[in-house]
């Protein structure tokens, strides 16, 4: 692997880890581990926050995360000159 490809892969790994931290926080964190204390907070009317994360919020966050990842990766592809065509 040449240096560019190596640096590209490192940047990719950093991005993936960052995204997976958020992925974990919104589902396992807010939706499972801390759901009970969060339930004392209400949002969007009558949603207990922990319950909202488990049944709504985590899913919205996943969608945003995947698009964010795709957008950042396209930038990295061009920055390191490894894009297709």
Residue 25 touching other proteins (CB under 8 A): no
Q: Where are the alpha helices (DSSP H) in the chain?
A: 3-24, 35-38, 49-52, 58-79
Query: What is the rounded distance in angstroms from the CA atom of residue 30 to the CA atom of residue 57?
Result: 9
CB of 35 to other proteins, least distance (A): 7
Cβ atoms of residues 82 and 5 within 8 Å: yes
Binding other proteins (rule: CB under 8 A), the pick from 21, 28, 37, 79 is 28
Cβ atoms of residues 31 and 53 within 8 Å: yes
- Which residue ranges make up the site for other proteins (CB under 8 A)? 1-2, 5, 8-9, 12, 16, 19-20, 23, 27-28, 31-33, 35-36, 39, 43-48, 51-52, 54-56, 58-60, 62-63, 65-67, 69-70, 73-74, 77, 81-85
């Amino acid at each position: 692997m040449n240096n560019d490809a190596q640096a590209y892969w490192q940047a990719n790994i950093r991005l993936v880890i960052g995204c997976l931290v958020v992925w974990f926080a919104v589902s396992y964190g807010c939706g499972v581990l801390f759901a009970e204390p969060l339930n004392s907070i209400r949002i969007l009317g009558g949603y207990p926050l922990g319950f909202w994360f488990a049944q709504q919020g985590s899913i919205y966050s996943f969608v945003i995360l995947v698009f964010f990842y795709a957008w950042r990766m396209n930038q990295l592809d061009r920055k390191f000159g490894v894009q297709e065509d």
